[in-house]
Amino acid sequence: MKLYNVKLLTVTCEILAQKNVIDILAKHHISGYTTYEVEGNGARGLRGQGLKNEKNVKVEVIMQEDKLQDVIEEIARTLFTNFAIVLYVGDVGVLRTEKFV
Amino acid sequence: MKLYNVKLLTVTCEILAQKNVIDILAKHHISGYTTYEVEGNGARGLRGQGLKNEKNVKVEVIMQEDKLQDVIEEIARTLFTNFAIVLYVGDVGVLRTEKFV
Amino acid sequence: MKLYNVKLLTVTCEILAQKNVIDILAKHHISGYTTYEVEGNGARGLRGQGLKNEKNVKVEVIMQEDKLQDVIEEIARTLFTNFAIVLYVGDVGVLRTEKFV
Amino acid sequence: MDILGLIQSNLLTPIVLFFIFGIIAARIKSDLKIPDAISEFLPIYLLAAIGLHGGIEMRNTGFEKMLVPMLAAIGLSLLFTLNHYQILRRLGKFNLFDSYALASTYGAVGAVTFSVGLSFLKNQGVTSEGFLAAVLAILEPVAFILAIFLTNMAVSKQMKTKKESLGEISESEIGMGITETKTNLKQVLHESITGKAIVILLGSIIIGYMIGEEGFESISIVFDELFTGAIVIFLIEMGIIAGQRLDDIKKVGVFLIAFSIIMPTFNGIIGVLVATAIGLSLGGAVMFGLLLASASFIAAPAVLRHAIPQAKPSLYITSALGITFPYNIIVLLPIMFMVSSIVHNEGSIDLLNYILKGLI
Amino acid sequence: MDILGLIQSNLLTPIVLFFIFGIIAARIKSDLKIPDAISEFLPIYLLAAIGLHGGIEMRNTGFEKMLVPMLAAIGLSLLFTLNHYQILRRLGKFNLFDSYALASTYGAVGAVTFSVGLSFLKNQGVTSEGFLAAVLAILEPVAFILAIFLTNMAVSKQMKTKKESLGEISESEIGMGITETKTNLKQVLHESITGKAIVILLGSIIIGYMIGEEGFESISIVFDELFTGAIVIFLIEMGIIAGQRLDDIKKVGVFLIAFSIIMPTFNGIIGVLVATAIGLSLGGAVMFGLLLASASFIAAPAVLRHAIPQAKPSLYITSALGITFPYNIIVLLPIMFMVSSIVHNEGSIDLLNYILKGLI
Amino acid sequence: MDILGLIQSNLLTPIVLFFIFGIIAARIKSDLKIPDAISEFLPIYLLAAIGLHGGIEMRNTGFEKMLVPMLAAIGLSLLFTLNHYQILRRLGKFNLFDSYALASTYGAVGAVTFSVGLSFLKNQGVTSEGFLAAVLAILEPVAFILAIFLTNMAVSKQMKTKKESLGEISESEIGMGITETKTNLKQVLHESITGKAIVILLGSIIIGYMIGEEGFESISIVFDELFTGAIVIFLIEMGIIAGQRLDDIKKVGVFLIAFSIIMPTFNGIIGVLVATAIGLSLGGAVMFGLLLASASFIAAPAVLRHAIPQAKPSLYITSALGITFPYNIIVLLPIMFMVSSIVHNEGSIDLLNYILKGLI
Ligand SMILES: Nc1ncnc2c1ncn2[C@@H]1O[C@H](COP(=O)(O)O)[C@@H](O)[C@H]1O
Ligand SMILES: Nc1ncnc2c1ncn2[C@@H]1O[C@H](COP(=O)(O)O)[C@@H](O)[C@H]1O
Ligand SMILES: Nc1ncnc2c1ncn2[C@@H]1O[C@H](COP(=O)(O)O)[C@@H](O)[C@H]1O
Ligand code: NA
Ligand code: NA
Ligand code: NA
């Protein structure tokens, strides 16, 4: 079976920024994503030990390359300054491109 | 240290399909995998808010390229129609290829 | 926005080895990482069903290529023999290389 | 007290109010949520409490009295499952898979509903037969097994017909298909019998039977006194989940909505009447009726997703949890209590026997 | 008993000791931790218990008496929030965002602090007015709404000035900016009102009111008798988190440390005096003072991170949880109790009115 | 009552039955599971309850009586750890690492076993000395520290010999190796002393001591009355985990199986006799024996994986949890109770002293 090249965007951020990230995805008409809670360390210090609000979350989005630039630009512009956040992009192959707009 | 190229197969699916995925792996004599619960959104709607059975799970498998086609073909054939499921494949490097058959 | 190539190192290991992995990262002056609990199967059998200490954890580190060799060498040398552990490396693109030393 | 008065007084119990509260919280999109670990633990706790209670009672009353109600419950459950299937397939025009899945969801029992029923009776100062916990345990897999068996039969037949008509494949391949189906059935059977609900319930019944009143004393505060409070907490979460599913009710369609209300009412009242006829107490008849009226929304998906993956869970979970469960605990429970009171007080058992004969 | 004696005897209660124990456990870097699911569940439980209790009391006493205290609390909360802002911005030299965020954190209320206060009074054998739970619920969003509104106004103004001076953009774009701000405000308002704390608290008050003493009986063991034990468990975790934050206190600066102790003391004592003046009981006045003295450390981040993302959570969480909370439950609670005892016993209300007139 | 009767009546308690139930649930591959958050919380709760109870008792009885039992326990624990090592290394032919890991696992104490012991005594209507909770806390790290120290010594020696024979490296490098070993030891020591079990236990003892009977009242329902029920819930999960490990028992080998039964019996009975000799009560002697008989299966892996990573956890966890724990709570506890009854009633202490002298 042929695997089609798409992008896997991963955003690791504080849990209270999750809504913002998903809103940005929705604005770009991307409705598919996967999320899960994580802990971590970074520029804003150790996160995830105390209250639920202090945890991190990963948001993973499989998407076509064409939307990627707009999405990461908006995330970077609106969230990078005020939130604990990290973003990276990888290449993956999928079977059904029609699922990932 | 040399890193050897292998494939990382990721299956994100509803938790009740986890057993089916792992059975397929076992059928192809793959015993190594990693799983964890996630939430998500997709064609079958928001998943992971209510009962445990309504959650999603990610199954990650590091494997040699030669088995990949058979495994994803069987997953696609037996599970794509009836389950909330997404599958993607990436390239990774590992130190000990003998661990991943 | 330009994406800069860096490495994503993933270590999946038993939870009691997490401290060792993070200590190794710290020794190489890497303070950023993300962790989360997972379950899994491998050479050391099914892990993650019983007591908390029997679970696995994934440690993900975005890092520059230049430190990668030293880190994986030390992990392999000190932890591969005695712990349930798997390690793999992938390529990802990030926006702010200065975050990942 | 008239039926409306009874419904109203039932409405004003903490259990029902917190359930409704959960629905409202979900509707106004509050982020309120009982953490997963708690809402996974509570059904286990509730079943352990029900089982212990039942086991202890059975130690006092013995097994013999259990036989007839057990057989009656199994019989009715099978009958009802078949009946549901006919209604759903013929009148509702659902496909084979959805029909069987829904039929067994409503043929099966809801352990949470049972807990609420016990609390309802406690509130009314009425007791029920302890062995009904055992009936609950036995009844749980019955409807599933039937539905899965029939679905597998139907699928095998379809496959055979199709393949024969295509003339493409050999007899041995068909044989393989059937074997696979059988393996699948066996596996599902194992899964449904070793499912946590049945295991903890049966285990607790046996333990309750072994330890008796005395042995129970040291743990009665946890497994008896905290019971109603625990249900309240669990029902907040059930309310939230039901509330989230209310949007899906549109997709479920008018037919299934009507089915989700009429069918339990019918099953439940028949249950009360039969139970009364075979000698159960006022409270016992209500619980017996509730067993038959209730639909399964926790065990069902776990079993049906493997056994009949083609069926749409959005149908059976939404109707069972979003419609039938609220209806059962708010409206039907008082109705069945009323019916049971009437048939128990007015010597109407003869009348009932008469009705039943007419029905069967 | 003198004030030191009271503080000492308060120190020796399980709640305070286990909180301090949690701090110590964190300081010696123990891996002790109450699992997340439990520490997420406990505040929901505590609020449900507080709400039920309050609702039941209100059924006995009626609504009328609630009006004046409610209005007084809202008025004071708004006043205090504005006052905090001035102090932080002018004296503390904090930026606009941190000033508003901190101002509202201390203008808002802490539900956990409230729970501890109830237990403290129970321990002293003193009761408080049930409607204070309702005041707690109403007060929760008030300070946030004010602070968010003012922040948004300030930001809009800044934007407008800046853009006009640049002469780069049209009126319509400024209009858009303001619309966006409004949408944002509306969204934050919705979030803060449907936040789990308010929802469970209001819901439980209403349910408590509906079921009354009688209806409560079946769940009183869970929602009343387990209350203090549950607080103890929760405070272990709060202690651990506070202990982990102690390192951050250095970053918070001397000014904010002083603010985190002096401000609650001031607000709390004013609260006790006002409450006494408007007729609340000894215990009621303490709880009223505690409402005003307490700072929010669970609800605050959830609301403020969305509403004023530019503000540093390390400031407002650290000062509220790491300094004010321990200070409030260990030192200020006994002080306010003392003050309330004095003003209630010695007819000092006239004196107080006098003082208040001088202040306003 | 004879010993078989006692074992049988112990078998019929909810604690033991639910443990066995958990084993069975795991064997039939049920998906029953107590959610992680609950089973992580319960040991913390149990230790807090034990600690509070012990602390309150110590307030009544004072410290002095604690000294001798404490020293005796430490002495025996060290002695037994050394003894285990010899047996495992010489007779069992285990490697150095596994021998030390197993030796300390059995030299250490099991807090869950201790909880079950307290419930067992409660059931028999017998009390035990409160200071034994403190002995539990002190004993927890003792065996580990010894084993880790000896392992490190052995490893350093091996390294030195090896390197010298190779003649490859300088003195300074050996020095470095030893320094590293020492750092490691220090770190492990810190970890094992700040481990959550010891921290919560010691903390609760001190708090119990400070608050006394009175202060405990408000939380006694949570930390006393729920105790046995909480153990029951925890033992379901322990049963499940033990059941999952039964398959591994084959890999453990006959020698270790025998060791896991004979050693605790020997240690436990010596413990009962010594405790009686130094004046502990009937119940206290049983608990003292249980401390020495029990093996650690929660704290052990956490400490040993870091301290002796070369040792196979499948050996020490499986034998401690899969064999010794069930044996201890089902069989050995009644046996020790019997022995303690005999030596306490029949003035057999002289006899015992005689035996002991023979042994040492
Ligand atoms: N180098 C890194 N590798 C992996 N995850 C990281 C890294 N740096 C930061 N993170 C994650 O991103 C979160 C926010 O990072 P920061 O904004 O740097 O505090 C952290 O809490 C980590 O979970
Ligand atoms: N575009 C996507 N990116 C990442 N995860 C996705 C995406 N689409 C679906 N998923 C995940 O796969 C699950 C099943 O998808 P679906 O079958 O489309 O409902 C969802 O619940 C998500 O967790
Ligand atoms: N082939 C694999 N693919 C993905 N994860 C694996 C694989 N093999 C092992 N793992 C993970 O690594 C852990 C340790 O592996 P092992 O040391 O082989 O027991 C396992 O429990 C799994 O979580
Ligand atoms: Na039914
Ligand atoms: Na305040
Ligand atoms: Na021992």
Model confidence pLDDT, tens digit, residues E28-39 = 999 999 999 999
**CA angle, F200 as apex, F194 and F204 as ends, to 5°?**
135
Mutate: best of C86, C91, C92, partner B, most B CBs <10 A? C86
Of F36, F211, F218, the CB nearest to E17: F211
DSSP D142-159: HHHHHHHHHHHHHHHHHH
The candidate with the shortest Cα–Cα distance to C100, out of C37, C25, C20, is: C25
Mean pLDDT of C3-24: 97
Query: How many angstroms separate the CA atoms of B11 and A101, rounded?
Result: 19
Query: How many angstroms separate the CA atoms of D57 and D51, rounded?
Result: 10
Query: How many angstroms separate the CA atoms of D146 and D85, rounded?
Result: 11
Query: How many angstroms separate the CA atoms of B48 and D167, rounded?
Result: 45
What confidence score (pLDDT) does residue E143 get?
A: 85
Query: How many angstroms separate the CA atoms of F237 and F243, rounded?
Result: 10
Query: How many angstroms separate the CA atoms of D105 and D98, rounded?
Result: 10
**CA angle, D27 as apex, D22 and D29 as ends, to 5°?**
95
> From the CB of B62, is ligand 3 less than 6 Å away?
yes
Q: Number of folded domains in chain D?
A: 1
- D203: how many CB neighbours lie within 10 A of its CB? 26
Q: Quickly count helices (H) and strands (E) in chain F.
A: 18, 0
Specify the ligand 3 atom closest to the Cα of B62: 3
Of E29, E35, E37, the CB nearest to F194: E29
Residue A86 has pLDDT above 60, yes or no: yes
Mean pLDDT of E42-71: 93
Query: How many angstroms separate the CA atoms of F283 and F285, rounded?
Result: 5
Kind plus residue range of the DSSP H or E element containing F306 = helix F299-307
Residues of B in contact with A93 (CB under 8 A): 88-90
Which residue range is the domain that position E175 belongs to?
A: 3-19+35-359
Handedness of CA F9, F10, F15, F19 (dihedral sign): negative
DSSP D278-346: TT--HHHHHHHHHHHH---SSHHHHHHHHH-TTS-HHHHHIIIIIIIHHHIIIIIHHHHHHHHHHHHHT
Q: Which residues line ligand 1 (CB under 6 A)?
A: A 12, 40-44, 47, 56, 84-86; C 32-34, 60-62, 99-100
Q: Select the more confidently predicted residue: F301 or F14.
A: F14
Angstroms from A82 CA to nearest CA on chain B: 25
What is the value of pTM for the model shown? Answer: 0.94
Query: How many angstroms separate the CA atoms of F246 and F234, rounded?
Result: 19
Residue of B86, B87, B88 to test ligand 2 pocket, by largest number of atoms within 8 Å of CB: B86
d(CA D82, ligand 4 centre) in Å: 12
Residue E161 in tokens = 């000035």
DSSP E66-84: GHHHHHHHHHHHHHHHHHH
Quick check: is E271 in a domain?
yes
Residue E354 in tokens = 């006098």
Query: How many angstroms separate the CA atoms of E286 and E269, rounded?
Result: 9
**In sequence order, which residues have a C-beta less than 8 Å from that of residue F94 and are 6 or more positions away?**
F88, F102, F315
**CA angle, D137 as apex, D12 and F20 as ends, to 5°?**
110
Mean pLDDT of chain E: 90
Quick check: is F24 in a domain?
no
Closest-lying ligand to the alpha carbon of C71?
1
Question: What is the DSSP-derived secondary structure letter of residue B47?
Answer: B
Strands B85-94 and A56-63, by their bridges, are unpaired
Question: Is the Cβ pair C3, A41 closer than 8 Å?
Answer: no
Q: Confirm if D333 and D290 have CB atoms less than 8 A apart.
A: yes
The candidate with the shortest Cα–Cα distance to D300, out of D315, D284, D283, D282, is: D315
d(CA F107, ligand 6 centre) in Å: 4
Q: Confirm if B1 and B60 have CB atoms less than 8 A apart.
A: no
Asked if the C-beta of D214 comes within 8 angstroms of chain F's C-beta atoms, the answer is no
Residue C81 in tokens = 């023999």
Mutate: best of D53, D140, D186, D207, partner F, most F CBs <10 A? D207
Of C37, C73, C87, the CB nearest to B94: C87
Specify the ligand 2 atom closest to the Cα of A63: 1
3-state class (DSSP) for residue A92: strand
- Burial annotation E60-71 (CB, 10 A radius, 16+ → b, else e): eeeeebbeebbe
Question: What is the DSSP-derived secondary structure letter of residue B73?
Answer: H
User: pLDDT tens digits, residue range F302-354?
Assistant: 889 988 999 999 999 999 999 999 999 999 999 999 999 999 986 545 555 55
d(CA D291, ligand 4 centre) in Å: 6
Quick check: is D26 in a domain?
no
Question: Is the Cβ pair C41, B62 closer than 8 Å?
Answer: no
D337-341, E61-65, F61-65: which is most confident: D337-341
d(CA B63, ligand 2 centre) in Å: 22
Residue A74 in tokens = 């908006």
Residue A27 in tokens = 């604005």
Q: Which residues line ligand 2 (CB under 6 A)?
A: A 32-34, 60-62, 99-100; B 12, 40-44, 47, 56, 84-86
Handedness of CA A4, A9, A15, A19 (dihedral sign): negative
The candidate with the shortest Cα–Cα distance to D133, out of D274, D288, D256, is: D288
> To which residue do tokens 């497994």 refer?
D223
Angstroms from C71 CA to nearest CA on chain F: 19
Q: What is the ipTM of this complex?
A: 0.94
Q: Confirm if E88 and E259 have CB atoms less than 8 A apart.
A: yes
Q: Where are the alpha helices (DSSP H) in chain E?
A: 3-11, 14-27, 36-61, 67-86, 96-107, 111-124, 132-166, 171-193, 196-216, 220, 227-245, 249-277, 282-293, 299-307, 313-317, 325-327, 333-345, 349-359
CATH (one of 3.20.20.70, 3.40.250.10, 3.40.640.10, 3.30.70.120) for A4-91? 3.30.70.120
Cα-Cα-Cα-Cα torsion D144, D147, D151, D153, nearest 10 degrees, comes to 110
What confidence score (pLDDT) does residue E114 get?
A: 97
d(CA D84, ligand 3 centre) in Å: 47
For chain B, residues with pLDDT lower than 50 are: none
Kind plus residue range of the DSSP H or E element containing D16 = helix D14-27
Asked if the C-beta of D155 comes within 8 angstroms of chain B's C-beta atoms, the answer is no
**For residue E172, what pLDDT band results from cuts at 50, 70 and 90?**
low
Asked if the C-beta of C82 comes within 8 angstroms of chain F's C-beta atoms, the answer is yes
Query: How many angstroms separate the CA atoms of C97 and C101, rounded?
Result: 8
CATH number of D61's domain: 1.20.1530.20
Rg for chain C (alpha carbons), in Å?
14
Q: Where are the alpha helices (DSSP H) in F62-131?
A: 67-86, 96-107, 111-124
Interface of F with C in 293-312 (CB under 8 A): 297-298, 301-302, 305-306, 309-310
Angstroms from C56 CA to nearest CA on chain B: 9
Chains F and A touch (3+ CB pairs under 8 A): no
**In sequence order, which residues have a C-beta less than 8 Å from that of residue E274 and are 6 or more positions away?**
E72, E76, E288, E356
Question: Is the Cβ pair E218, D233 closer than 8 Å?
Answer: no
Mean pLDDT of A31-43: 97
- E173: how many CB neighbours lie within 10 A of its CB? 12
Question: Is the Cβ pair E219, D225 closer than 8 Å?
Answer: no
Which chain residues have CB less than 5 Å from ligand 6, an ion?
F 294
Encode chain D (360 residues) as per-residue pLDDT tens digits. Answer: 688 898 999 999 999 999 999 999 999 999 999 999 999 999 999 999 999 999 999 998 888 889 999 999 999 999 999 999 999 999 999 999 999 999 999 999 999 999 999 999 999 999 999 999 999 999 988 888 888 888 888 887 877 777 667 665 555 554 544 555 566 778 777 887 898 999 999 999 999 999 999 999 999 999 999 999 999 999 999 999 999 999 888 888 999 999 999 999 999 999 999 999 999 999 999 999 999 999 999 888 888 998 899 999 999 999 999 999 999 999 999 999 999 999 998 654 555 555 555 555
